[in-house]
Chain A
Amino acid sequence: MSDNRPLRWFLYGYLALVFTFVFAPILFSVIFSFNSDRFPTIPLGSFTLKWYQTVWNDPDVWEAARTSLTVSPKSHLRSVHPILRRLHPC
């Protein structure tokens, strides 16, 4: 079992496939953010930063970001507290 080379390489390949599955959505959301077409289809259009500019200049996005930043520390505090307690048992 320990010296089975083909099996070992098969397992490494399999692991790579699983990681592909996990990271594919993250990867493609990055790729399509630079795509010039309005709708995400293959083949890709040209490289563009247009969408980044649009989002940057959109006041709604800033408002939403502010909301997220106000809400997340509160839920963070709540979820981290038990962990802190474990790190410093008293």
Chain B
Amino acid sequence: MSDSTPAKAASSAARQSSVFKLTFRLPIIIWQSLFFIGPLCFMVAMSFFIVRNYRMQEDFVMKNWLKMLGRDYFWDSYFLTWGLAGIGTVVTMLVAFPAAYTLAFKVSETVRRWAIFMLIIPFFTSYLVRIFSWYVILAESGVINAGLSYLGLGPFVMLNTKFGTVVGYMTLTLPLVIILQTFALANIDKSLVEAAFNLGCRPFRTIYRVILPMARTGLIIAAVFCFILSFGDFVSPYYLGGSKPPTLPILIVDTVKSGQQWPRAAVVAVVMMVTLFVVAFAGIMAAYRRRFG
């Protein structure tokens, strides 16, 4: 050890540190391959299997793909899921923006920190429990209709509608979207906003021309997260949306339950994942592109 040159010592230290790094990285790599990439490949393979007498057999046939993609109800369900998740994302982004704007520009650092903390609290409570709580609030004899009846307004049907589904989606995504939007807006260079104000730019024009372009990356990432969570959500359309017509996650459950059609459910799942991958990729491209248009 004592006769080793500094260069030698440095290279051995580097090797040691790379081994050290590897020991820390390897578990997560192994874990991801075993429990994420492995099952993913298996699911793609499974979509080519065949079911005989309610039992799945290894095979390589296109039957499941042709059956699922050839059915109208699959495409109805596909576009319904797109529509609901799309509406959910637009509504959530619009509802969240003024809140995030307030948190980013109109309150002190302390208040913002507390607000972010408060927005993390819902993640500690079960999503399912919150959905059932909405059930109580939105039901025909629920809290909102009871309140409205005092004003003489008749009971509104809010459960088992698309409105219910979107409320459910927002329960899942709104806190996260506000947090992401707040960070996106708070990272903007305030002096540029002030410059726009000093140069006589009107508030809404400032938002449109200065704030939105500068916060674009964060805002698009928030929208992508919101869409992905809504698109894959099973609980809201099932319990608050009435599950009819089914969205894709409900279709997966239905397909598995009826006749053990795991391969066809795998087809739906693969289509969903490809869709979300394309959406996420397009979103990230749009988020990190140099400028608009």
Contact = CB atoms under 8 A, between A and B. Distances in A.
B96 interface: yes
B20 interface: yes
A43 interface: yes
Interface residues of B, number: 44
Contacts of A26: 121-122, 125, 130, 133
A25 B141 contact: no
Q: Which of A23, A42, A78 has the most CB of B within 10 A?
A: A42
A50 interface: no
A25 B134 contact: yes
Nearest 5 interchain pairs by C-beta: A42-B146, A25-B133, A25-B130, A11-B102, A40-B136
B132 A22 contact: no
A41 interface: yes
A34 to B, nearest CB: 13
Nearest to A11: B102
B129 A29 contact: yes
B136 A12 contact: no
B24 A41 contact: no
Interface in B130-150: 130-134, 136-137, 139, 141-143, 145-147
B142 A14 contact: no
Contact of A15 (B21, B99, B146, B174): B99
A18 interface: yes
Interface of A: 1-2, 4, 7-8, 11-12, 14-15, 18-19, 21-26, 28-29, 32, 40-43, 78, 81-82, 85, 90
B106 interface: yes
Contacts of A41: 139, 141-142, 146
A86 to B, nearest CB: 11
A22 B174 contact: yes
A48 B175 CA distance: 32
A29 B133 contact: yes
22 contacts: A1-B197, A4-B203, A19-B118, A21-B170, A22-B119, A22-B122, A22-B171, A24-B133, A25-B131, A25-B137, A25-B171, A28-B136, A28-B137, A28-B143, A29-B129, A32-B133, A40-B139, A42-B145, A43-B146, A82-B28, A85-B24, A90-B21
A4 B105 CA distance: 13
A21 B133 contact: no
B132 A29 contact: yes
A32 B136 CA distance: 9
A8 B106 contact: yes
A43 B150 CA distance: 12
Nearest to B146: A42
